[in-house]
Amino acid sequence: MTEPVIVGVDSSGRSLRALVWASHEAALRGAPLRVVHVLPTWEHDIPFHPPGMWRTVRDRGADIVAEAAAMAKENYPDLDVSPELIIGRPPKVFVDASAHASAIVLGARGEGGLGNVLLGSVSLQVAGHAAAPVVVVGYVNSGHDRVLVGTDGSETSSAALAYAFEEASLRRAALHVLQTWGMPMPTEPSAEEPDPEQMAARYRRELDEQLAGLRARHPDVKVQEELLRSWPSLELIRASERSDLVVVGSRGKGGFHGLALGSVSHALLQYAMCPVAVVSPRSGAVGGA
């Protein structure tokens, strides 16, 4: 059985966008949809709200998750939808759930204030530690029939490529593969700068090798390759304006191993003009591509 798509909901507008995106994703995959609302706690699972307010907060949470599940079912009557009210710390709840999910879908920011369960920081924490792809929905920019993926030849970007091919195939969309590169710094003051044309040719060969197996597994996907000498964050954010989804690895070649998210994925989560899927090597393609 296909692992479920799990979406976090609260009462915010961006949570609603996440629900709509997740419902469509589950329908495309033929997967169940788990609609989760988290009642936040402090350390040691002490309730976030004082005892006198807890019942009211719990009842409100139950209403939120029930209404969200009903909306998903109304839009997709054949979808297997289950509402869940969970008490805990939001990042841990979703990271733990990701071990048995095809994707975790969150809003970029939640409802604000003390009752917020989907703060931008929560989305960032989950994206950096989840065992499944994490899709953060800030802006919805549909109608382009195009999935965008950034790659740099790293293991993480290979996992992102696999997931991007899968998404493009599911959505019958074109796939835009964007790789940026910069000139390496000379190791010696007297060393000559590498030839840009030779560097570009090398990166082109590496990209073609990286794509060969994925093209064979997904012959239905039309691929557009683009190789640019530029900053990856800048080019991916620009291209996101013309994409339905952008896929990126959690960290690239230049990332520091102590960091859960690299600078490129972090920038996209903040500024991309469409939903962003963050993929790590431990998640990769859901279908095993």
What pTM does this model have?
A: 0.87
Give the other-Cβ count within 10 Å of 108's Cβ: 23
Query: Exposed (0-12), middle (13-18) or buried (19+): which is 191, by Cβ within 10 Å?
Result: exposed
pLDDT at position 283 is: 60
Residue with token string 């990286």: 210
What domains appear along the chain, each with residue ranges and CATH number? Answer: 5-137 (3.40.50.620), 146-279 (3.40.50.12370)
* C-beta of residue 29 within 8 angstroms of C-beta of residue 139: no
Residue 37 three-state SS: strand
DSSP one-letter string for 42-86: -GGG-BSS-HHHHHHHHHHHHHHHHHHHHHHHHH-TTS-EEEEEE
As a whole number of angstroms, the distance between CA 36 and CA 50 comes to 22
In this prediction, residue 258 carries a pLDDT of 36
pLDDT of residue 120: 65
Give the Cα separation of 136 and 279 in Å (integer).
11
Residue type, 237: I
Four-point Cα dihedral 175, 281, 94, 64, nearest 10: 10
Q: For residue 251, which amino acid is it? A: R
Instruction: Tell me which residues of the chain have a pLDDT lower than 70.
Output: 42-52, 109-120, 183-192, 251-261, 282-289
Cβ-contact 245, 167 below 8 angstroms: yes
For the chain, what's the residue count?
A: 289
The Cα–Cα gap between 152 and 248 comes to: 10
Extract the tokens encoding 128.
């950096």
Task: State both tokens at 179.
Answer: 């790789």
